């Protein structure tokens, strides 16, 4: 198990480094940072000064190396637009995104696991088809559109919920539904497939033959085995939810990392974009690593192979 | 690490259960305003966005005030002023005014602010607003002398707009960064809460000076929230989450007119739309060097129909590259180019492009209008390939001489003088892609001549030349649509400045 963890950890570090390099070089290709720093109406002399001051006149590989060293020292630089320390800016926005991600994941699990169980227990019935329809709608609807539908229904027509902001818990309800619903189908299909598989196993037949009530067979014996793959997927989907919150945070003006990323892209605020991309990708890599470890812990065949 | 995790958990919990949301509006005499963009800094000298101008005019004051309806100048922080010679103005200052932090306003504040912003090393974002200042000197506690670098007749106009006055002791201590974190001015409102990139709250300044031409009204508080998504803004105003939004697209504003608890107000602004045609020596499109091709492009576009069908109420067709109400702006003597696709085709054929022409068109806003223009050009045989970019990216293309046609807009920073408009695009500045030295010299003369009639004559000749040579396509003035709660009394002005200090609830 230790060797497995070390191997995966090494891989995670390499992936993070590769992501950091790709993010760095892609952003450098997308435009001249010196012009962005010098600002609107800057003269050539101002742009040249900005280029020299920020070391942008050095070879790209040197710039990348310096940036990497600074990151290891906890220095993500200064925001060009907000004129403040990038790290403190990102830290201040992180709680909102984490809260949104965790709540969306919880919402996805709360609707997908019961639906998956029902679909498996009543396979090929109208219940199964209904659950399938819920999944198809969830995957087919772009989340920005679904978000607008929610706003029209709950804010404009019924006036139950506030449209945007992050001041109260009520502000999180629609973003959580919009974001969580999008990832729920994947969980539902996995639970359904796992349950169908498990429900046809010999030990379930034995449990039923012993006369155990249906809910004990399903929840105590079948579900425990069927949800194992969900554990790994949960970690990966949480990473996806954190990274995928840019659109939802922008629509609902939730003051999190996604909103910050949108503002930074709009204003060509390269240091912030780099920090957000780096942070979200490291979080994603870490969560995938945790998912792999959890899976290996739950399933010995994986770590042996 | 433990500390970090604990802190993060606490922040997450606080974020989840903070029930202190601001519910305001008519009941507590406040206005909730949503805007799509946060300013990079609240300090008016270090941002170049409209919301920065709006906040600036509420939190700070200027030496002079321009009445937005009559154009008449009055003293604001200055009680009187006198033009001593072509480059020198002396100001008598008001007594007894205090900044929001209690600092007394006097000549030291004016001298410090003007000298600070005029120094290029401090890197004021919009240099155009301050680059004309040479120095300010204190004559006595309430008297200041201002010297301009050269003859600059528009000085009073700038001093009544973007040139606000900071408290010298505080600004010296905290600088622009500190001013952004905790803004301090003399204005009718003071900043009481500022969450960077999220919201800013302004509350009525209880000590605001009674003699100010900005008459303080009954509004107690303005909560400005930055909501980037236009649909979300509309949902907020529909669900009574905010009271006031602006820059609503025409089609959506027209739909909102049917909502009983809302009012839609549109008005002309100083922002003009026009197209540049790159005709300079090394233009990437040789065709645009031919005056007949440029004229064909103007004849091809039905601007009247565009104004009526797409742009909206409050807009008007322009014949010259300036806003008609700006000092010095005129279309007298300038040729008008009516919509005439046949003439356009004939001119193209005459220029050797009977079989059509391929051009790139770069644009950054009002995409529907750009697409209409592309349709008109297509009808006369010009294939315009659209490059729709962020403003900064478009500007990079223009300044590196890679743009052929541009669909531009310019708001003149609400400065009511041609010197803030036409010279930016025809005065050999970086955005000038026609580069006619005769036009440049005439504009320069207009910018640096003191006698109003001489200035007008110089601008007239420059604008006429630009039109005669068809260096650009003057399109129209852009209107702005405001949507507000029906109970709010407000007025739209051409400078795109909502004046919250004079608004009232019905």
Contact assignment for A40 to B11 by CB distance below 8 Å: no
Measure the CA–CA gap between B381 and B378, rounded to whole angstroms: 5
Cα A209 to Cα A203, A205, A220, A222, distances in angstroms: 10, 6, 15, 15
Strands B244-246, B262-277: pairing kind: unpaired
CA distance B241 to chain A (A): 7
Q: What digits encode the pLDDT tens for the residues B466-479?
A: 999 999 999 999 99
Does A184 reside within a domain?
yes
Residue B21 has pLDDT above 60, yes or no: no
Same domain? A178 vs A62? no
Measure the CA–CA gap between A195 and A222, rounded to whole angstroms: 7
Contact assignment for B229 to A259 by CB distance below 8 Å: no
Angle between helices A60-72 and A2-30 (to 10 degrees): 130
Contact assignment for A163 to B127 by CB distance below 8 Å: no
Q: What is the pLDDT of residue B24?
A: 67
Same domain? A111 vs A189? yes
Does B246 reside within a domain?
no
Does B342 reside within a domain?
yes
**Residue bearing the bigger pLDDT, B367 or B76:** B76
Where residue B366 falls (left for φ over 0; alpha for ψ -120 to 50; beta otherwise) is left
- Mean of the pLDDT values across residues B174-203? 94
Q: What is the CATH number of the domain that holds A268?
A: 1.10.3720.10
- Mean of the pLDDT values across residues B383-411? 88
Give the count of beta carbons closer than 10 Å to the beta carbon of residue B13.
12
Contact assignment for A81 to B195 by CB distance below 8 Å: no
Does A256 reside within a domain?
yes
The parent domain of residue A57 ranges over: 2-72
Q: Is A171 part of the contact surface with chain B (CB cutoff 8 Å)?
A: yes
Cα B285 to Cα B132, B352, B357, B402, distances in angstroms: 35, 14, 10, 9
CA distance B402 to chain A (A): 15
Location of structure tokens 């009530």 = A213
Q: What is the pLDDT of residue B166?
A: 98
The parent domain of residue B349 ranges over: 269-478
Contact assignment for A96 to B196 by CB distance below 8 Å: no
B396 vs A contacts (CB less than 8 Å): 31-32, 35
Number of folded domains that form chain B: 2
Structure tokens at B34: 């949503």
Same domain? A111 vs A21? no
Same domain? A147 vs A173? yes
Last residue of a domain, one of A40, A72, A104: A72
Contact assignment for B240 to A159 by CB distance below 8 Å: yes
Contact assignment for B239 to A163 by CB distance below 8 Å: yes
Q: If you average pLDDT over every residue of chain B, what do you get?
A: 91
B69 burial (CB, 10 Å; 0-12 / 13-18 / 19+) is exposed
Q: What is the pLDDT of residue A240?
A: 80
Location of structure tokens 């008008």 = B336
Q: Which residues contact A37 (CB under 8 A, 6 or more apart)?
A: A50, A54, A80
Contact assignment for A251 to B231 by CB distance below 8 Å: yes
Q: What is the pLDDT of residue B364?
A: 87
Contact assignment for B128 to A41 by CB distance below 8 Å: yes
- Percent of chain B predicted with pLDDT > 70: 95
Same domain? B171 vs B274? no
Q: What digits encode the pLDDT tens for the residues B131-166?
A: 899 999 999 999 999 999 999 999 999 999 999 999
Same domain? A68 vs A100? no
Residue B276 contacts residue B408 (beta carbons within 8 Å): yes
Contact assignment for B40 to A267 by CB distance below 8 Å: yes
Confidence of residue B214 (pLDDT cuts 50, 70, 90): very high
Chosen from B4, B12, B223, B427 to mutate, greatest number of chain A CBs within 10 A: B12
CA distance B369 to chain A (A): 22
Helix or strand run (H / E) with residue B139 = strand B133-140
Structure tokens at B314: 């409050």
Does B190 reside within a domain?
no
Classify each residue of A92-116 as buried b or exposed e, where b means 16 or more C-beta atoms within 10 Å of its C-beta.
Answer: bbbbbbbbbbbbbbebbbebbbebb
Last residue of a domain, one of A38, A72, A106: A72
Chosen from B51, B128, B197, B393 to mutate, greatest number of chain A CBs within 10 A: B197
Q: What digits encode the pLDDT tens for the residues A210-225?
A: 888 888 888 888 887 7
Size of interface A-B (CB pairs under 8 A): 123
Q: What is the pLDDT of residue B16?
A: 44
Chosen from A39, A144, A252 to mutate, greatest number of chain B CBs within 10 A: A39
Same domain? B143 vs B273? no
Choose among A39, A89, A156: nearest Cβ to B125.
Answer: A39
Contact assignment for A253 to B16 by CB distance below 8 Å: no
Contact assignment for A95 to B11 by CB distance below 8 Å: yes
Measure the CA–CA gap between B243 and B230, rounded to whole angstroms: 15
Q: Is A146 part of the contact surface with chain B (CB cutoff 8 Å)?
A: no
Q: What is the pLDDT of residue A43?
A: 61
Q: Is A253 part of the contact surface with chain B (CB cutoff 8 Å)?
A: yes
Cα B438 to Cα A114, B335, B352, B429, distances in angstroms: 78, 18, 28, 14
**ipTM of this complex prediction, to 2 decimal places:** 0.74
B320 closest CA partner among B338, B332, B308: B332
Does A217 reside within a domain?
no
Last residue of a domain, one of B177, B201, B235: B177
Most confident of A48-57, A154-163, B136-145: B136-145
Contact assignment for B22 to A167 by CB distance below 8 Å: yes
Contact assignment for A41 to B225 by CB distance below 8 Å: no
The whole-angstrom distance between residue A199's C-alpha and the CA centroid of its chain comes to 32
A259 closest CA partner among A275, A245, A238: A245
A156 vs B contacts (CB less than 8 Å): 235, 238-239
Confidence of residue B15 (pLDDT cuts 50, 70, 90): very low
Does B230 reside within a domain?
no
Residue B205 contacts residue B149 (beta carbons within 8 Å): no
Q: Which residues contact B283 (CB under 8 A, 6 or more apart)?
A: B289, B401, B404, B433
Residue B3 has pLDDT above 50, yes or no: no
Last residue of a domain, one of A16, A45, A72: A72
Contact assignment for B21 to A94 by CB distance below 8 Å: no
Contact assignment for A252 to B232 by CB distance below 8 Å: yes
Q: What is the CATH number of the domain that holds B105?
A: 3.90.76.10
- Mean of the pLDDT values across residues A76-98? 87
- Mean of the pLDDT values across residues B234-263? 91
Q: Which of residues 206-245 of A touch B (CB under 8 A)?
A: none
B445 burial (CB, 10 Å; 0-12 / 13-18 / 19+) is middle
Classify each residue of B28-62 as buried b or exposed e, where b means 16 or more C-beta atoms within 10 Å of its C-beta.
Answer: eebbbbbbbbbbbbbbbbbbbbbbbbbbbbbbbbb
Same domain? B293 vs B398? yes
CA distance B133 to chain A (A): 17
Residue B443 contacts residue B423 (beta carbons within 8 Å): yes
Does B417 reside within a domain?
yes
Does B493 reside within a domain?
no
Cα B284 to Cα A226, B100, B149, distances in angstroms: 65, 54, 36
**Residue bearing the bigger pLDDT, B90 or A123:** B90
Q: What digits encode the pLDDT tens for the residues A102-140?
A: 999 999 999 999 999 999 989 889 999 998 888 888 888
Same domain? A113 vs A140? yes
What is the DSSP code string of A176-212? HHHHHHHHHHHHHHHHHHHHHHHHTSHHHHHHHHTT-
Q: What is the pLDDT of residue B139?
A: 97
Q: What digits encode the pLDDT tens for the residues B401-425?
A: 999 999 999 988 788 899 999 999 9
Does A298 reside within a domain?
no
Helix or strand run (H / E) with residue B271 = strand B262-277
Choose among A159, A267, A268: nearest Cβ to B239.
Answer: A159
Q: Which of residues 26-55 of A touch B (CB under 8 A)?
A: 31-32, 35-36, 39-41, 43, 46
Same domain? A64 vs A24? yes
Confidence of residue A57 (pLDDT cuts 50, 70, 90): confident
Same domain? A133 vs A255? yes
Contact assignment for B8 to A99 by CB distance below 8 Å: no
Last residue of a domain, one of B177, B203, B227: B177
Contact assignment for B229 to A253 by CB distance below 8 Å: yes
CA distance A126 to chain B (A): 37
Same domain? B301 vs B166? no
Q: What is the CATH number of the domain that holds B329?
A: 3.10.105.10
Measure the CA–CA gap between A38 and A46, rounded to whole angstroms: 6
Does B452 reside within a domain?
yes
Same domain? A162 vs A263? yes
Q: Which residues contact B173 (CB under 8 A, 6 or more apart)?
A: none
CA angle A120, A124, A126 (to 5 degrees): 100
DSSP three-state, residue B280: coil
Does A208 reside within a domain?
no
Chosen from B196, B262, B390 to mutate, greatest number of chain A CBs within 10 A: B196
- Mean of the pLDDT values across residues B17-30? 63
Find the residue in B nearest to A97 (Cα).
B12
Give the count of beta carbons closer than 10 Å to the beta carbon of residue A285.
19
Choose among A83, A253, A260: nearest Cβ to B227.
Answer: A253
- Mean of the pLDDT values across residues B107-121? 96
Q: Is A148 part of the contact surface with chain B (CB cutoff 8 Å)?
A: yes
Does A78 reside within a domain?
no
The pair phi, psi for residue A68, each rounded to 5°, is -65, -45
Residue A19 has pLDDT above 60, yes or no: yes
Same domain? B414 vs B278? yes
- The DSSP code for B103 is P
Same domain? A157 vs A279? yes
Measure the CA–CA gap between B83 and B64, rounded to whole angstroms: 14
Last residue of a domain, one of B147, B177, B207: B177
A165 vs B contacts (CB less than 8 Å): 21, 225
Q: How far apart are the first and last CA of chain A?
A: 11
CA distance A270 to chain B (A): 14
Does B217 reside within a domain?
no
Location of structure tokens 């549109």 = B266
Q: Which residues contact B140 (CB under 8 A, 6 or more apart)?
A: B107
Residue B174 contacts residue B485 (beta carbons within 8 Å): no
Location of structure tokens 């609707």 = A111
Same domain? A68 vs A95? no
């Amino acid at each position: 198990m230790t060797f497995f963890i070390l191997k995966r950890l090494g891989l995670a570090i390499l992936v993070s480094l590769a992501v950091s390099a790709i993010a760095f070089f892609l952003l450098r290709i997308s435009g001249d940072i010196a012009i962005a720093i010098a600002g609107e109406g800057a003269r050539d002399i101002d742009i040249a000064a900005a280029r020299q001051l920020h070391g942008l006149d050095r070879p790209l590989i040197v710039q990348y190396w310096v940036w990497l060293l600074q990151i290891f020292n906890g220095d993500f630089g200064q925001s060009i637009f907000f004129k403040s320390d990038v790290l403190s800016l990102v830290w201040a926005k992180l709680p909102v995104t984490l809260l949104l991600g965790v709540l969306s994941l919880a919402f996805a699990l709360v609707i997908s696991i019961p639906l998956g169980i029902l679909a498996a227990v009543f396979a090929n019935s109208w219940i199964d088809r209904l659950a399938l329809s819920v999944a198809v709608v969830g995957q087919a609807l772009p989340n920005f559109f679904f978000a607008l539908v929610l706003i029209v229904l709950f804010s404009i027509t019924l006036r139950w919920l506030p449209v945007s902001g992050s001041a109260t818990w009520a502000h999180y309800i629609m973003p959580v539904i919009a974001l969580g619903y999008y990832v729920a189908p994947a969980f539902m299909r996995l639970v359904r497939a796992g349950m169908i598989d498990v429900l046809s196993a010999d030990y379930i037949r034995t449990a039923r033959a012993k006369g155990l009530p249906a809910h004990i067979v399903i929840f105590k014996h079948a579900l425990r085995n069927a949800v194992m793959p969900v554990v790994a997927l949960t970690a990966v989907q949480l990473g996806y939810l954190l990274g995928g919150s840019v659109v939802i945070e922008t629509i609902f003006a939730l003051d999190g990392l996604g909103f910050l990323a949108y503002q930074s892209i709009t204003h060509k605020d390269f240091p912030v974009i780099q920090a957000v991309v780096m942070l979200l990708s490291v979080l994603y890599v870490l969560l995938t690593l945790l998912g792999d470890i959890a899976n290996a812990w739950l399933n010995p065949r994986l770590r042996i192979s | 690490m433990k500390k970090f995790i604990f802190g993060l958990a606490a922040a997450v919990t606080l974020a989840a259960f903070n029930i202190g949301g601001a519910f305001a509006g008519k009941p507590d005499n406040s206005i909730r305003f949503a805007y799509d963009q946060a300013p990079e800094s609240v300090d008016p000298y270090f941002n170049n966005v409209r919301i920065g101008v709006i906040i600036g005019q509420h939190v700070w004051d200027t030496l002079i005030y321009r009445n937005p309806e009559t154009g008449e100048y009055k003293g604001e922080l200055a009680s009187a002023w006198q033009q001593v010679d072509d480059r020198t103005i002396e100001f008598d200052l008001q007594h007894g005014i205090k900044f929001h932090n209690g600092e007394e306003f006097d000549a030291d504040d004016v001298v410090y602010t003007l000298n600070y912003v005029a120094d290029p090393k401090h890197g004021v974002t919009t240099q155009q607003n301050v680059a004309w200042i040479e120095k300010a000197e204190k004559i006595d506690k309430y008297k200041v002398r201002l010297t301009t670098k050269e003859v600059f007749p528009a000085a009073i106009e700038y001093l009544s707009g973007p040139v606000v006055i900071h408290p010298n002791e505080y600004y010296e201590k905290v600088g622009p960064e500190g001013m952004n974190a905790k803004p301090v001015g003399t204005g009718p409102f003071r900043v009481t809460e500022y969450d960077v990139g999220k919201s800013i709250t302004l509350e009525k300044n209880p000590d605001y000076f009674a003699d100010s031409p900005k008459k303080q009204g009954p509004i107690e508080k303005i909560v400005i929230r930055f909501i980037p998504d236009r649909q979300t803004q509309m949902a907020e105003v529909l669900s009574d989450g905010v009271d006031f939004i602006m820059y609503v697209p025409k089609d959506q504003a027209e739909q909102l007119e049917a909502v009983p608890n809302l009012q839609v107000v549109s008005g002309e602004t100083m922002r003009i739309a026009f197209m540049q045609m790159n005709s300079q020596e090394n233009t990437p499109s040789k065709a645009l060097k031919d005056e007949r091709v440029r004229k064909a492009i103007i004849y091809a576009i039905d601007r009247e129909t565009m104004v009526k069908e797409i742009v909206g109420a409050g807009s008007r067709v322009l014949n010259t590259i300036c806003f008609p109400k700006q000092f010095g702006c005129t279309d007298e003597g300038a040729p008008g180019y009516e919509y005439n696709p046949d003439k356009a085709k004939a001119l193209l054929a005459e220029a050797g492009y009977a079989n059509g022409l391929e051009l790139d068109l770069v644009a950054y806003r009002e995409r529907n209008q750009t697409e209409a223009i592309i349709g008109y050009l297509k009808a006369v045989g010009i294939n315009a390939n659209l490059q729709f970019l962020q403003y900064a990216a478009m500007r990079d293309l223009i300044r590196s001489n890679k743009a052929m046609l541009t669909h531009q807009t310019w708001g003149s920073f609400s400065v009511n003088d041609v010197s803030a408009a036409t010279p930016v695009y025809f005065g050999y500045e970086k955005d000038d892609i026609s580069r006619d030295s005769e036009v440049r010299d005439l504009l320069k003369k207009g910018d640096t001549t003191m006698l109003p009639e001489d200035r007008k004559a110089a601008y007239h000749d420059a604008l006429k030349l630009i039109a005669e040579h068809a260096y650009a396509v003057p399109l129209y003035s852009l209107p702005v649509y405001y949507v507000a709660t029906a109970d709010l009394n407000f007025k739209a002005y051409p400078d795109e400045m909502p004046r919250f200090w004079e608004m009232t609830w019905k």
